[in-house]
Chains A and B, each alone.
Chain A
């Protein structure tokens, strides 16, 4: 308990600030989602788009999605990087018998705080997204994908592992924060891409009811073998012998752009795959930090 109490005293400021920020964003977001209504003139589709993309709710949900990542970066860099920069590592590492035990204790406490903040933000965002999208079953829908649920916890933990390694490597807080944010953003994007890249997309018609729960993954002109092709390639496939109006009408009819989607039922698979990539990157960061801490000169 002593270790935990001292860890809390050292890191309470950023944690308290981010928890308060998440509560403020969550409460304002829920209140806003509770009261916002579509204009009667909007169609159901336009209303759905309006509710999810209108600026105030976007700001709240986006902030809530980013806060666990920020906490991961801040705690990751302050655990080793700021200790090395300020010189307190010389005190700490001359006291502890095992630097790895010391790092493990810090990491457990940090991960618990990221878990709590991630669940808080993920929970708030689930409520906001559900209120803005009534009638959708969120666990089988890509509505608000990536903004709510356990993926926020995984992103925060991954950011922590990556930032831990960067802080231990660079030994400077400002440089570590800058590089940490870049790498964490890159890791998040890479995980997003990998998460959906192993699924087969479907072309859905704009009037297909499943489209509201689906995730758009691409658009183009359908070609042979289920691939997309360019307009010029499509026009080249025009049959011989057409002339006049028939020839003008053919491309408009056969080279129409369509969109492909992942159906909502794939949401859990995509999220699990994305989480696995993030967890792997986070663990790699943590492993690198363990190795660096063992050999670093305080």
Chain B
């Protein structure tokens, strides 16, 4: 008796569920949401696409080999190029890479693995890092001029001073992304390592860091991509707009950088310069893509291994 009643109830419930499975008309809200999402991505990709299309169209006449191998010129506008600026930008970016990655990753390891978050000074550091990420870049330029070019480090107007200034600017990005990556390493992996008698450093070195590396690389790509296009801080710390030579080294001599060169030429009245500026934007894009491709290739290799 009880069984048959229970069976009836079960059958009813099943029927009700089945009926719910049939469509009850068009899901307007769902479709609307989908349309909004689609629109968002079209706007985002469309803006990027039209921007790239515009600079290519604008700079098309000067997309030639001269652009990469020639010096800038105020006389021969048709053959002027970005050679010193390209080398300058490469110097500056290498400097950013070698400073920001070790410092950023170390800071992230400290904050994630060692810092006692109940201590006020650790919390202060955390809050400050978050805030630093929101400071306008020109402020880092002023800071770089005061403490890197002059003041404490007194490096002068050299490429490495530009590197350190941009490194300060993008350091929060690297720290935050690295912390996220380190935090995403499953606790089980750490426990397994500790369980085998590994020390904290061994656990970080052999497990946490390798597992976090793809995330750290992603953060570094974002940081480098932001740094490579910066103009204002570089102008402040002495990137020049016109040099007919490549810097001796990152530590001595005047240097130029692609965005600074673009900035200066875009403001010139002659149309040749404006075309050159657009072509320069493409050079910058190419350099950025090359840089990121290498990073993505490294990341892909690392993730394939594991």
Are these two chains actual partners, yes or no?
no
Residues of A within 8 A of B (CB): none
Interface residues of B (CB under 8 A from A): none
